[in-house]
């Protein structure tokens, strides 16, 4: 019997670790737990976005127990990949020790897109769209991470 491959440690990094990176961690835990050990963090911490929690719950993924973490909180973890999910995180991504490779996959910022919404339903629309885009990306893991290196 062959030994199982170790799980890839993947960090999803965003500006405030409140929305996009939290969604990515939730999807990875739900869809890829057999091969990926996901974490999320931010270059700042903004708390967990209530609308992100709501739209993920609509899709059957509970992220309500996740917490907003600063990237420094995870300095002790040797990640295989750091996935920046917003442009600002990419620009200010710290250097990680060990073999971490950085892959950039930017997603729109739902809180920014929802600012002018006149109803809660209208505000949730960009969250749902970005949630689904992140899910589609996570479904390609880990192959898309390896492909991004070449």
Q: Which residues are catalytic?
A: 14, 86, 93
108: left (phi over 0), alpha (psi -120 to 50) or beta: beta
Q: Are the CB atoms for 89 and 19 separated by under 8 Å?
A: no
Sign, Cα dihedral of 49, 54, 60, 65:
positive
Q: Are the CB atoms for 66 and 52 separated by under 8 Å?
A: no
């Amino acid at each position: 019997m062959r030994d199982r491959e170790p799980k890839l440690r993947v960090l999803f990094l965003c500006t405030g670790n409140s929305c996009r990176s939290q969604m990515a961690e939730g999807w990875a835990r739900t869809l890829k737990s057999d091969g990926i050990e996901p974490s999320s963090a931010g270059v700042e911490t903004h708390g967990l976005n209530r609308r992100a929690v709501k739209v993920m719950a609509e899709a059957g993924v509970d992220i309500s127990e996740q917490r907003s973490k600063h990237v420094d909180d995870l300095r002790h973890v040797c990640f295989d990949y750091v996935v920046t999910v917003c442009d600002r995180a990419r620009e200010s991504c710290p250097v990680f020790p060990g073999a971490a490779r950085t892959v950039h996959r930017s997603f729109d910022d739902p809180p920014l897109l929802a600012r002018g919404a006149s109803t809660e339903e209208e505000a949730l629309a960009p969250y749902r769209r970005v949630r689904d885009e992140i899910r589609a990306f996570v479904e390609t893991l880990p192959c898309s991470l390896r492909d991004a290196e070449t």
